[in-house]
Amino acid sequence: MAGPGKWDETVLNLAGPELYRRNAFRLLGLPLGASQRELSRRMQALKLQTRLGIKELKAAGLAVVPAPDEGTLREAASRLRDPQSRFLEEFFWPWPLKPEGAEEPDMGLLALEHGDVAGAIGSWEAASRSGETPGVAAHNLAVVYHALALDLECLGQTAALSPGQVKQRNAYWTHALTQWRTALGDEGFWEAAVGRAVGLGDPRVDREAVESLRGVLPSALLTINARLAARAAQSWDLDEARRHTGLLHGSGFDAGDVERALLRAAESAREAIRAACAASDQEAEAGARRGGEAATRLMDSAGPSLAVLDALLPHGHPVLAAHHDDVALRVLRPQVGYAKETDDWELSLKLLQRALPLARGEEACRRLRENIGIVENNLKLSRCWFCEKRPPDDAAKVKVPMHRVVARIPIPGGSRIQWQKLEAYVPRCRRCGAVHARVDSLSLLGCLIGAVLSLGGCAAVMAASHSKLAGFGWFVLVMVAMGFALNAASQLPRRRGVKPESAKLEFPGIERLKKEGWSLGEKPQGV
């Protein structure tokens, strides 16, 4: 055990779902004032019962099910032999309302010893109403209700609770947190706690130790629900997680204590995220080609822990936003280098799009969106512009001559133009090039056939009918038919999922050059 000034960590470690199921007095079935001699006799009796195979052990109310094994009982007895540990075991178990040695028995403890939990609760509720040691009565009610609630939480881990049990569990939680709040705010209760501490006769357990416990106890009690919420979130049971965080926020305890409890329960998830980020950094440093795998592995490994933080912390909490942004930006950093090294812009885009919903901060979101736009543009450049599927073929690229006027120099009778020329290229795959070539061939063939049919047919009709009007009609008919044929040929690329060759002017690179002052054609008009 740590010294009085360092009890915080000890109490916080105790604050878990097993707080009461591991209580030494509950496990051993001993009264709170049991002496060391009584403890030894009880342990001897338990050992004898174990050797004889007797499973039904004499135990106080709230007996633990299933019964503890011999090793658990030995550990419990060991805690009662150390005054510091014993004080905490006593603190989380019902106390007598009357001073030790009083003539009248404590009816609440007597009922609990005989397994009458309802009778014990009734006795302490009556004492609370009468004003007789109300702080201690509230403490006893808090302990019992808390233990009952956690017993049902434990049962719910192995079997579905009935509607009646769910209703009981919810009521127990409400009563437990209410009674704890009452007890912690009662000075008479804390004076009773000091009396119990001093009565153990150990200088390490004194008023200062009790004050240390008083400071940490609200946060420690709330940590139990926070850890249950974290456990539920880790199992993707978000409704259960929300139930426990709802209990915390509705408990009436100080908001700072609630936040500290949630952050404490979130620490293991935060540590897992930090470890995943460090592993991702190390993997990414091994080479740019590892950037894709590193980013995928980071989001896969950090995702469940981020979900735990989402369940525990309110939206907009700085700790939540910091961890989300840390993961999202670590996905971003190696992507450009990875895509340039591997030319796998498609995977890089998918990773950035997956990382964007993770980001919370405005700056992180802005950077991700900006880089998504860059990668989308690079992906277009790395694919055939006309089908946007296949890689481009250098032999099939489309040339787009362009020029830009640099200056107009006045000369006698006019001006002389100086210009620059540029050959821009639009990426195209071999298959799209073949489709465009076929369109050109069909168009040329259609024009030749149309010319022959129109001129030859026109002459033949005129000769046969001796009418120029009939010849003109034939010419018009052939031209209309040729128009339909050329239109059908122009639609061939679209039917095959390919943009027409004229779409080259819509290519982002061409549009960018036009914005920079370049015009289509090898030279200015009139030159």
- Here the tokens at position 159 are 């079997």
What's the pLDDT at 461? 46
- Here the tokens at position 337 are 């280098």
What's the pLDDT at 388? 83
- Note whether 401 and 522 are within 8 A (CB): yes
Q: Who's near 122: CB < 8 A, 6+ residues apart?
A: 111
Provide the β-strand partners of residue 410. 415
- Note whether 429 and 396 are within 8 A (CB): yes
Q: Which residue has the tokens 């153990």?
A: 200
d(CA 247, CA 226): 9
* Torsion angles phi and psi, residue 401, rounded to 5: -65, 140
Burial of 13 (0-12, 13-18, 19+ CB in 10 A): exposed
Q: How many CB atoms neighbour CB 188 within 10 A?
A: 12
- Here the tokens at position 147 are 């233990």
- Here the tokens at position 486 are 């050329």
- The tens place of each residue's pLDDT in the chain, 527 residues long, gives 444 455 678 888 888 999 999 999 999 888 888 889 989 898 888 777 777 766 544 445 688 888 888 889 999 999 999 999 999 999 999 999 977 666 677 899 989 988 899 999 999 999 988 887 899 999 999 999 999 999 999 999 999 999 999 999 999 999 999 999 999 999 999 999 999 999 999 999 999 999 999 999 999 999 999 999 999 999 999 999 999 999 999 999 999 999 999 999 999 999 999 999 999 888 878 777 888 888 999 999 999 999 999 999 998 899 999 999 999 999 988 777 787 788 788 888 999 999 999 999 999 999 999 999 888 888 877 788 888 888 888 888 899 999 898 887 777 777 788 888 888 888 888 888 888 877 655 555 455 555 554 545 455 545 555 555 554 554 455 455 555 554 554 455 555 578 888 888 988 888 888 888 889 988 888 77
pLDDT tens sequence across 60-89: 568 888 888 888 999 999 999 999 999 999
Instruction: Give me the long-range contacts of 150-155 (CB less than 8 A, separation at least 24).
Output: 150/17, 150/18, 150/19, 150/20, 150/21, 150/224, 151/20, 151/21, 151/62, 153/17, 153/228, 154/17, 154/21
- Note whether 334 and 351 are within 8 A (CB): no
Burial of 242 (0-12, 13-18, 19+ CB in 10 A): middle
What's the pLDDT at 42? 86
Burial of 375 (0-12, 13-18, 19+ CB in 10 A): buried
d(CA 323, CA 326): 5
- Here the tokens at position 320 are 């939540």
Which one-letter DSSP state was computed for residue 506?
A: G
Q: How many residues does the chain have?
A: 527
pLDDT tens sequence across 357-386: 999 999 999 999 999 988 888 887 778 888
- Note whether 401 and 421 are within 8 A (CB): yes
d(CA 268, CA 69): 30
- Note whether 414 and 423 are within 8 A (CB): no
What's the pLDDT at 59? 46
What's the pLDDT at 3? 47
* Torsion angles phi and psi, residue 407, rounded to 5: -160, 155
Please choose, from the candidates 317, 169, 324, the residue with its C-alpha nearest in 3D space to the C-alpha of residue 240. Answer: 169
Indicate the helix (H) or strand (E) that contains 6: none
* % of the chain surpassing 90 pLDDT: 48
One-character DSSP codes across 290-303: GHHHHHHHHHHHHH
Global confidence as pTM: 0.74
Indicate the helix (H) or strand (E) that contains 206: none
d(CA 220, CA 311): 19
What's the pLDDT at 4? 46
Q: Who's near 347: CB < 8 A, 6+ residues apart?
A: 292, 339
